[in-house]
A and B are shown apart, each in its own frame.
Chain A
Amino acid sequence: MTHYRYSIKILPGATVCEDCTLEGDITIGGGTVIHPRVTIIAEGGPIIIAEYCIIEEYSTIIHKKNEQPENPPKPLFIGAHNVFEVGCRLESLCGHIGESNVFECKSFVGTDVKIGSGCVIGAACSLTTPQTLPDNTVIWGSEHNNREALEKQPSQLLQLDFLGKVMPNYHRLRKSNVHKRQMSRQSQEPAKS
């Protein structure tokens, strides 16, 4: 387990609380805020979180192990401006999560769900069957109603700004350990593939 610790890359500008469980090969992009008590486990392959995401308390992101492991393992790439609200859970085998998605409180996204950009998974909604959510899909309510929004969800830049200022006053933070030059190369690589 100890060797995992070294494979956690935090880029400058990211706010990552110390009180969270990060296991495996994880890259956290600049401007992203990770609240305390967050669990991110990269057991099936690396997880790359792009810039300006908010990951709130008790959310869990797991890159699950595939039954036929590939070599080298494919990464799980989470795009920019995603919001993971309190207690949500995202399980994925590998792949690509678009940008500007909102995973509302206590929502669950299973392994075979492909998510585009600008989607909203409503509070307590759970997606378990294999499916692909086209861009701007909104799912809400106990009936899992869905609709298509006209535009992407507005970005949370103000909130990110605020959190970046406030969090260091109340929580121990992990230090960034990657330089800027490396960051730009790494965050662009998965976007191309």
Chain B
Amino acid sequence: MSHTNMTIREAIASTIDAEMARDDSIIILGEDIVGGAGTAGGPEAIGGIWGTTGGLYGKYGAGRVLDTPISESAIVGAAAGAALAGKRPIAELMFADFIGVSLDQLWNQMAKFRYMFGGKTRCPAVVRMIYGAGMNAAAQHSQSAYAILTSMPGLKVVLPATPADAKGLLTEALRGDDPVMFFEHKALYGVKGDVPDGEYRLPFGQARQVRSGGDITIVTCGGMVRFCEKAADALAKDGIGVDLLDLRTTSPMDEEAILDSVESTGRLVVVDESPPRCSLAADISAIVAQKAFSSLKAPPLMVTPPHTPVPFARELERAWLPSHKDVEAAVRKTLAYNGSR
């Protein structure tokens, strides 16, 4: 297969473009996704603040590329309605934190249509949202809202950590018939990698094996993957083999990959960018405790931020955000448990 090297930003932009070219029913809506509407500079003066939607307006026109007022409830609600009415909307929330404004449309509407209506409807809406800490954007522009949405039956939740995954998962989202929450980490947009050319789909619910090793399993996703890679590489120098899994999707979640790995390593560290209570890390720890108890040589450890909002100051955010050092320390602690290794 031929590949092209590109950033996650480019992978997302080119996938939206390719899918819109292929399928007329795809529409895209959000704030400033065109940028410049109603100004002297004219539409496309800016082309989306994240650089993922530039050029779409010129290609697909105002009927399919809808620049909206600041109205997240209406943006997500309109995506829900358009999906019921036969379109495939992509709604963009400029920051994932803004799910707060639109939560009813996600939680009580999109997520539940199919079930409430006895399986008679489909709601193929993709809600793209930009998430994550590390840029001093403070408490209302830095959150990792994926744990909240993962807890809601009816929503699929996707978090690519590489350009290839961004393409494969976004294509899959746009071909499926369920609402998909598509999380794009603001600190990962510039990450480069090889992306398969042509049609490329990645089924949901299949974790990516990032490193292989026999001593300990690390399960993570999204923005934390890069820190775990760094930790795994440092640990490898000390002869510690890490089995590193990037979940890619947290709903559905690849339980089998997690359990298989823990059964062979006997140890688990879960690394999650959302706060610890009722989190993905807590969820995975519970699953492993219930289903792989007899394989465990040490209690599962969670590496997460503290149970606080995201702070602004550099020193505070650095202390808040899990780092590769925190991951390394958790691994060493797990390995040292009861002299288990």
Instruction: Report whether chain A binds chain B.
Output: no
Chain B positions within 8 Å of A, measured between CB atoms, are none
